[in-house]
Amino acid sequence: MPNYEFTNQAGQVVEVYYPMSTVPSVGEVVQHPERGTLTRILSSAQLSPNFTTGTYPYVSVTLPRNMPGVPCNAKGQPIISSRRHERNVASEHGYMRAED
């Protein structure tokens, strides 16, 4: 189950479950029914091992299928076309390269 890290108003880090299709963006502020006002933060646990190929283009087998704004193959797997594209996809969807 995908749990994502947020900070509450007291500055404490809390984990909250969200389906990948509805998770708030990094920096987005949400109202949680039990935990109050929360701000989404980037978690180091959100690393994709497939951001380390260095050879472009490549088909990611670890990123979610049918990602919005990302070209995909017939199976819905994202196609990463360049290092710049990789960085954009990572920042827009809350991922980062393992070596960053």
Question: Could you state, in order of their start, the residue ranges of all structural domains in the chain?
Answer: 3-40, 49-93
58 and 47 Cβ atoms separated by less than 8 Å:
no
Q: What is the pLDDT along the chain (100 residues), one digit of tens a residue?
A: 578 889 999 989 899 998 888 888 888 999 999 999 999 987 655 545 455 556 788 888 778 888 888 899 988 888 888 888 888 888 888 877 665 4
Tokens for 16? Answer: 């909250």
pTM: 0.45
d(C-alpha 19, C-alpha 92), whole Å? 17
